[in-house]
């Protein structure tokens, strides 16, 4: 299976909502066009940053459809198709395949906390239900489920279209072990901006990046610098992002990223309740961070 087209900077796109919390269909295309003009190498939708957990099934599929229309073949679409059950994940993955997405990004089941053996059965069943490339999505801080490197290897042996991992664990040792234990060349994408550059130093192909929602051009410059062998510049840019990464803790997930987007001119509206907006004081502090990064870029 050809996986070379999956690389680079891929915004973990926030799903835009109107002020009354409806899916903002027009804004989906506007955001995607802006990211592609900024030079990104793909778009990821309906992930954690995209509030997939707050979407009903019809909204989820509509978001994928709108994204496919907006991208129009210019870059790959990474479609979040994970659910709390195998049945739900298969339903969403089949819908994504019917729309023509490029890759299914499947978060671990959550709440139930399946074992490693159950994860193998789950991902094998999803992969066998589709011809799409399937990338596992490990996000233990959100799901309380961690995919071990040996489990990814077992999944890849069980299904040829399982192609790798998006890892948001923040555990760089584990991330590298995914590549070392895979039975064939595997994709490895960072889902944590704090370790994105380090993962790419160690062989990862790219980053599905929350921060690229706010400063996509800057993240692309970091990636380009690394690929050109200019490691000092790549490190410098990574460090410029540090205050924004620290600011993620200033509010409930994912409101800080959404408010930073608005401050940077990429408004995606509010997060869905129960998540509320930031206080005026915190918003002012965040505005200072966004302004400082823009000036330093």
The domains located in the chain, with CATH, are 8-238 (3.20.20.70)
Look at residue 290 and tell me whether its pLDDT is greater than 80.
yes
Q: How far apart are CA 98 and CA 100, in angstroms?
A: 5
Look at residue 297 and tell me whether its pLDDT is greater than 90.
no
Q: How far apart are CA 253 and CA 197, in angstroms?
A: 23
pTM for this prediction: 0.96
Q: Which are the catalytic amino acids?
A: 137, 166
Q: Average pLDDT of 85-110?
A: 98
Model confidence over 207-223: pLDDT tens digits? 999 999 999 999 999 99
Both tokens of 3, joined, read: 């996986």
Look at residue 168 and tell me whether its pLDDT is greater than 90.
yes
Residues with Cβ within 8 Å of 112's Cβ and at least 6 positions away in sequence, in order, are 84
Q: Average pLDDT of 65-87?
A: 98
What is the pLDDT confidence band of residue 122, given thresholds at 50, 70 and 90?
very high
What is the pLDDT confidence band of residue 192, given thresholds at 50, 70 and 90?
very high
What is the pLDDT at residue 71? 98
Residue with token string 């899916």 = 23
What is the pLDDT at residue 296? 79
Q: Average pLDDT of 247-266?
A: 96
Residue with token string 């709390």 = 84
Mean pLDDT (the chain, rounded) = 97
**Structure letter (DSSP) for residue 49:** T
Cβ atoms 237, 200 nearer than 8 A: no
Look at residue 1 and tell me whether its pLDDT is greater than 80.
no
What is the pLDDT at residue 110? 94
Binding site members for pyruvate:
208
Q: Average pLDDT of 63-83?
A: 98
What is the pLDDT at residue 56? 97
């Amino acid at each position: 299976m050809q996986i070379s087209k999956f690389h680079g900077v891929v915004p973990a796109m926030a799903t835009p909502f109107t002020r009354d919390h409806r899916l903002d269909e027009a804004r989906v295309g506007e955001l995607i066009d802006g990211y592609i003009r900024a030079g990104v190498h793909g778009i990821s939708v309906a992930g954690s940053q995209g509030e997939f957990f707050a979407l009903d099934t019809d909204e989820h599929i509509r978001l994928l459809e709108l994204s496919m229309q907006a991208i129009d073949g210019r870059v790959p679409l990474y479609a979040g198709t994970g659910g709390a059950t195998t049945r739900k994940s298969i339903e969403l993955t089949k819908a994504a395949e019917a729309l023509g997405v490029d890759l299914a990004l499947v978060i671990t089941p959550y709440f139930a906390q399946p074992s490693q053996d159950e994860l193998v059965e789950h991902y094998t069943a999803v992969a066998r239900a589709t011809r799409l490339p399937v990338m596992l999505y490990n996000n233990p801080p959100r799901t309380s489920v961690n995919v071990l490197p040996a489990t990814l290897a077992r999944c890849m042996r069980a299904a040829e279209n399982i192609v790798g991992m998006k890892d948001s664990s923040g555990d760089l040792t584990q991330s590298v072990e995914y590549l070392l234990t895979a039975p064939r060349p595997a994709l490895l994408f960072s889902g944590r901006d704090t370790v994105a550059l380090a993962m790419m130093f160690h062989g990862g192909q790219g980053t599905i990046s929350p921060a690229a929602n706010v400063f996509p051009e800057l993240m692309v410059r970091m990636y380009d610098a690394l690929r050109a062998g200019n490691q000092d510049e790549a490190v410098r840019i990574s460090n410029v992002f540090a205050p924004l990464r620290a600011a993620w803790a200033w509010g409930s997930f994912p409101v800080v990223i959404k408010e930073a987007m608005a401050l940077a001119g990429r408004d995606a509206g509010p997060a869905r309740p129960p998540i509320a907006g930031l206080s005026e004081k915190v918003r002012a502090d965040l505005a200072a961070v966004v302004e400082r990064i823009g000036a330093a870029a």
